[in-house]
Structure 1
């Protein structure tokens, strides 16, 4: 995938102050081991989800891939189980006026593009499981800032771009700190805080909090 413009005037100063090569190398090994283990353990569940999606619409694809912006502006395809109708991307522009998220991100509680199976796998965050593939490829980590869509990134300020100085993650400080109740600017603030504080123990704490949210009241992430 191509790398898009990532010129940030204060990037070099900020990056130098928060580079943690030893942490990043160790966490990369943990990512690989954990992703392989997760795929093996969750294989039966993944097969059930894949079958459910096919039963609902056997002609539509099981997986959905979406172009995202990762570390330092490098684009990649993020994988998910398909939870929306096949023309969901085309319908997005019509729904922008109903966006419930402030800033450069789209969120809608009762999104009409979501399928019946999609509502279930989204509620439990099971639609995110194919991102284990992205982790193995190195596009993503288990913990880090959420990767934006290319159209969201196009509206980023130089300050916003700083959240992409590290590998994006499946979960992060934003997700365990309120998620939909927080606006875009608060999300950026939390991501920058994560970049500064990131460590093996801090990552483990975020994963534990994610697991608690995933299992509590059956509402997932």
Structure 2
């Protein structure tokens, strides 16, 4: 029987290293397809090195569903860096971005509270209105105290009305006086007066 020549083993083909998953996902944040961007944003949940790219995406994203995914992922980090970068957008001309950011900040109880004093003192009353929205859902023991302070001290009726709306779900009859005092401070604002009268009637009636 003839000898069978063995074939020399072939050298393994060089395989280029795979692109790290996180890096690939971050590149997809700029994909033309909004669904690809949305899925990439959600898949980057918990990836610390993606924070910077996600913050940039939040600034330029125009699709609301993608923006919501980006902000949901960012909020999980709950750091002062992320909260501070997001809070800048409370002054945005884009109402959708302002609202989405306020909702995201309200889910960051570790880092958002440190921003509240500066937000309450912001010269732009629209920022203070958005701050009331944040406090409405922020799970923090001082949230109610901050809202009462806004109602008692803020100089703009729109801010006071926003703070009243935010406080009402947790208000008690003990807050009736501060609400009624707000009407005296802004006697020419019929909407604020109506809001307070309706609220006080409910609070006193359930006391």
TM-score interval, smaller chain: under 0.3
Q: Which structure is richer in relative contact order (CA contacts within 8 A, separation 6 or more)? A: 1
Structure with the largest fraction of strand: 1
Q: Give the TM-score normalised by structure 2.
A: 0.22
Structure with the largest fraction of helix: 2
Larger Rg: 2
